[in-house]
Amino acid sequence: MDPVRVVDRGIRFTEISSATLVDHVLRFNKRSREQKGAGHANVVAEVGGLVEGVLYQLETPSEIEKMDVFEHVPTNYSREVVTVDSQGEERAAWTYLANPEVVSSSLKPPCWYLDHLLRGRAYLSDRYIEMLESIECAP
């Protein structure tokens, strides 16, 4: 969700907006490749849940392939199309879902990783920011 990180990764976009994904929750249950016991973000289906995020309108559809490299598709994540609400409009968006082989329930996000998510705070509700800030992170 960190706009600076997206730019640093060379991903070109024309617009940024807030987005919500209903009937899903954010979990940090994708095992980190670098840090034992650490978890990275994953979106999990759960009735009644709500995930807030940042939606990037990419310059071209092929820009998403640059992100695939960082998300280690298809080994760690699969890239899926979901329907999000952005400014009252339903839009199709790509998101990354952790593959079952790399999921574990007893993980915590590294503090630096959680900080990257919080750098998208301009696009998140106060309630969602508070929820992210309350998550216990791994040093």
User: Per-residue confidence of the chain (139 residues) as pLDDT tens digits?
Assistant: 999 999 999 999 999 999 999 999 999 999 998 899 999 999 999 999 999 999 999 999 999 999 999 999 999 999 999 999 999 999 999 999 999 999 999 999 999 999 999 999 999 999 999 999 999 999 8
Residue 50's H or E segment, with its range, is strand 39-58
Q: At a CB cut-off of 8 Å and minimum separation 6, what does 67 contact?
A: 9, 11
What is the domain class of 3-128 according to CATH? alpha beta
Do residues 69 and 79 lie in contact, with contact meaning Cβ atoms separated by under 8 Å? Answer: no
Verdict on whether the full-model pTM lies above 0.75:
yes
